Each structure stands twice: as structure tokens, then as C-alpha cells.
Amino acid sequence: MINRRKLLRQMAATAGAAFSAPMLPGISHSATPAASGGPKRILFFMQNQGFDPATCIPAGMAGSGSLAKAKLPEPIEALEPFKERLHIINGLHGIHTSPSHSAFFGALGGYRGSDGVPPSGPTIDYELSKLLPETLLPHLCIGMDSMENMKAKPTVANLSASGAGQPIFMHSNPNHLYQMLYGGISDGDIRKQHEARSSMFDRIEQLATAQGKSLPMADRQRYGQYVQGFNDINGLRTRLGSVSDHLRNFAPKVDDRYTNPAFETDWHDALLDLGVSALKSGITSVLTIGSGRGEIFGSWKGLGVEEQGHNLGHMDQPDNPIWIKIRQYNSRMLVKLMEELESVPEGSGTMMDNTLIVYTSNNADKQHTNGATWPMMLLGNCGGIFKTGCFTQLDGTRPINALYSTLLNVSGLQCDRFNMSEKMAAKFDSGSGPLREILA
């Protein structure tokens, strides 16, 4: 039986980042432990270039209320049959993150972020991965972009972090991700490539460990983080190999989308399938999807959208046929996630009954924004914890950090704030603790 939390602590210590009090950095703890229960898995879907409120709030709905008799806007109309699972939230802010083109790590960290600026603390997805049930891979990040970018940079770090200066990489090449997750149970070329990469990573870790011992103590700690990266990869490979028979039931079929994609959306779809398989097999409990990979780029030629990258952000999203196509594509992905999880029994219900999906943007409401409004959509109620089938309009005085502290509370860690000091809170947060408006 793998004690993943013990393993993570050992790994963190090796990298010179041992946990200190408070154990979860950036969180203000209360003395009483949180109530039991909560989600078993949480997904974050981050679309770049902003999420305009008009593309998700039903027409004529100025205040909080039920969605039962409302018609969802065209960009998210695919969610119409799932309205009873949907909670649209408007009125959170992220002014303190300075999103502009993107808040980058700040979108999930709730702190100031910018292009090329390292994370200043852990992001909410990583923190949740330490609270939710143990899995072989605590946290999986996948990033969708143009084909050129995904090939040139098969991994990139812009959204998630395990701590200050410790980014978590997103996987953007589905062939590489498939090898990592399922290479050990595959045949033919995939198996050969997996074994070759595994042998290479083993040797690199050995060499790197030996070389690191000769470094001055001041550099050895920093170098240890580099060595730990290979240790993580090799450790994951070993853990996945120990449950190979189980994984065979969930590995997606490798088809032309992987090896001969016609468009970048073929790889987007393949990455989503891999994310779904990782959730259904129990490999991970936290999945972060970065459409646009947290930057101002991205491409959707497979949808018939010729415009790509930065120019998309300069287009108004409401009633824009290009953005309608992109948002509808996202909504279909959300539907697939729900349907796949709904198909797997869990306890007295299904996996979806114990799952929460958070959909938003790493760029608040639009490109070149001050972050004064940051729309969110929640899908799922995790056994009745969250209100669903409704729209909640907040007053704009609570930050996105308040939603993140809510997620921590329902996941088993009672806390007042996430990544926000008392001084910062006095300026940017009118309250403390969970968002009571969204809890059942």
C-alpha cells in the first residue's frame, strides 16, 4: 500500500522544500478540523483570453436565481441538459492578480502573476491534491495549444505550482503523456519508446545525483530540485507498473489522432481522453486543463477558426461566431467529462456525484482586464455540498481566493483564507472563510 503523503513529504524534503508550519503554505488555518466528506476529485478547466460574463449568464438574469426556466446563452448551450448540475457565479474579482494578458500562476494561486514571473506560492489545484484521496499521480496537468507550440514545447509551466518558484508542468503532446501513463502496458513502438525513455531517465537521475554531491552546499539544494524531477518521473513509472493489470481496463486506444493529427483539436481531444482515463482509473484525483496553456496563444483550426493567438483576445466575445465556436467546444468537453464520470459507479451513486468541475479563465473576463470581475462555472455538487441549478451574483468585493478557500474547506481543511495575508485581505477581501452563497 503506497503511503503517498509520506512519499510526498520525503520527496519535498529531498528537494530542500520540507513542510513547515503551517503545513500548507499560504493558508490561514483555524483551530478546528474541517467536517468530514467532500469531493473525491476536482477538475479545473482554464480557457485563455478571458471569460466574458455575457457568454454564460442567461439574458435578462440580473440577480441571483434558479436556472430552471432560464435559457443558457449560445456559447454554453451544450450544458442546457445539465443545468441542474450547473452553478454560474459572477462577481468574484482578481484585481490583486493583475491579469492583463493572463494572470498565469496567479489565476489558480490568487496572487500577482505575469509573463515570465515564477509562482509566489502553491496553486489551489496542487493544495487540493494533498487533501483528496491518495492516488498514484496526485495531480495531472494537460495543456492545449496550436500544433506548432505543442510539438515545439511538449511541456510548459504557466498555471500550476507546488510552491514558490516551483512550477508544475503541463503535458501537451498526447504521445508522450500516453507513454508516461500506459507505456508499460503497451506493445510495439510505444513499449519500446517507453523503455528507452525510462532507461534514459534512470541513467540521468543516477548521474545527476552523483554530480550533485560535489556541489557547494548553497547550490546543492537548488540542484536537488532538478534531480527530484527525474526521481518523480521514475517513481511514477514504478508505481504505475505495480497496477498494470488494472490500468489495462482504462488505457485509450491509440489512433490517427495521436500519430497523424489533421488539426490541433485532434490532439486536444486525445489529451482530454487521457485526462478522463486518468480520472476513471484512479491514477489522479486532480486534473487541470489549460486551453491556451495559460498564455495568450492557442489555436482551433479544427473548428474552422482561422484566427489564432493574441488576436483572439482583441475580439469581443458576446455574439462573436469565433468565440461561440470555441466556447461551445469547451462546453462539449465539459459534457464529455460529466458523462464519462457518470458512467462509473461509485458508492451509492457515480463518480460524477463525488466530483466538482471548475470552469473559468486564467484571464478573468477578457484580455487587457483589471480583473474586477472573474466569472466561474461549477459543475457537480459533491453529494449535495454545493448549490446547483442556479446563478449567483456576488457584489464584487470578494476575491477568487475566497472560492479557493471554500474548496479547501469542503475538502477537509478548515481555513479562512488562501494565499492572502491579513494586510492583503484588508484591501481586497470584504469577508473571510468560505463563500456561503454557493454552499447548500
CATH number at residue 272: 3.40.720
pLDDT reported for residue 236 = 72
Residue 154 CB contacts under 8 Å (≥ 6 apart), including other chains: 171, 172, 173, 176
Report the alpha-carbon distance of residue 357 to residue 355 in Å, rounded: 7
pLDDT in tens, 247-287: 889 999 999 999 999 999 999 999 999 999 999 999 999 99
Do 90 and 218 have their domain in common? no
pLDDT in tens, 175-212: 999 988 988 666 666 656 655 555 544 454 455 555 55
pLDDT reported for residue 134 = 87
**Residue range of the domain that includes 204:** 187-250
Report the alpha-carbon distance of residue 397 to residue 23 in Å, rounded: 28
Indicate the number of domains in the chain.
Answer: 2
How large is the average pLDDT for residues 312-339?
A: 97
Q: Which of 221, 250, 279 is the last residue of a domain?
A: 250
The number of beta carbons lying within 10 Å of the beta carbon of residue 427 is 10
Q: Which of 250, 274, 297 is the last residue of a domain?
A: 250
pLDDT above 70 as % of the chain: 80
Q: Grid coordinates in use for 377? A: 462555472
Q: Grid coordinates in use for 203? A: 541513467
Report the alpha-carbon distance of residue 53 to residue 375 in Å, rounded: 6
pLDDT in tens, 368-384: 999 999 999 999 999 99
Structural domain includes residue 257: no
Structural domain includes residue 288: yes
Do 29 and 167 have their domain in common? yes
Report the alpha-carbon distance of residue 205 to residue 278 in Å, rounded: 26
Do 275 and 348 have their domain in common? yes
pLDDT reported for residue 377 = 98
Structural domain includes residue 5: no
Q: What burial class does residue 343 get, using C-beta atoms within 10 Å of its C-beta: 0-12 exposed, 13-18 middle, 19+ buried?
A: exposed
pLDDT reported for residue 188 = 66
Q: Grid coordinates in use for 193? A: 519508446
Structural domain includes residue 61: yes
pLDDT above 90 as % of the chain: 72
Structural domain includes residue 83: yes
Range in 101-110, 234-243, 256-265, 425-434 the model is least confident about: 234-243
- Collapsing DSSP to helix, strand or coil, 175 comes out as helix
Q: At what angle do helices 188-212 and 174-182 cross, to 10 degrees?
A: 80
Cell 450547473 appears where?
A: 86
In which element (H, E) is residue 182 found? helix 174-182
Q: Could you tell me which of 404, 273, 258 has the C-alpha nearest to residue 339? A: 273
* Helix extents (H) in 254-320: 256-259, 264-281
CA distances from 384 to 4, 351, 354 (A): 28, 14, 9
Chain mean position to CA 173 = 17
Q: Could you tell me which of 109, 89, 113 has the C-alpha nearest to residue 99? A: 113
Q: What burial class does residue 387 get, using C-beta atoms within 10 Å of its C-beta: 0-12 exposed, 13-18 middle, 19+ buried?
A: middle
Do 235 and 279 have their domain in common? no
pLDDT reported for residue 365 = 97
CB of 272 within 8 A of CB of 264?
Answer: no
pTM of the prediction?
Answer: 0.86
Structural domain includes residue 14: no
Do 287 and 195 have their domain in common? no
Q: Grid coordinates in use for 179? A: 507513454
Q: In which band, very low, low, confident or very high, does the pLDDT at 33 lie, cut at 50, 70 and 90? A: very low
Q: What burial class does residue 216 get, using C-beta atoms within 10 Å of its C-beta: 0-12 exposed, 13-18 middle, 19+ buried?
A: exposed
Do 244 and 268 have their domain in common? no
Half-sphere exposure of 195 (CA within 13 A, CB side): 8
pLDDT in tens, 109-143: 999 999 999 999 999 999 999 999 988 888 999 99
Cis peptide before 174 (omega within 30 of 0): no
pLDDT in tens, 72-91: 999 999 999 999 999 999 99
Q: What burial class does residue 288 get, using C-beta atoms within 10 Å of its C-beta: 0-12 exposed, 13-18 middle, 19+ buried?
A: buried
pLDDT in tens, 42-65: 999 999 999 999 999 999 998 999
The number of beta carbons lying within 10 Å of the beta carbon of residue 108 is 31
Structural domain includes residue 278: yes
Q: Grid coordinates in use for 427? A: 484591501
Half-sphere exposure of 430 (CA within 13 A, CB side): 9
Structural domain includes residue 235: yes
pLDDT reported for residue 187 = 61
Say which DSSP state 369 is in.
B
* Helix extents (H) in 213-319: 217-241, 244-247, 256-259, 264-281
Do 137 and 267 have their domain in common? yes
pLDDT at 366 over 90: yes
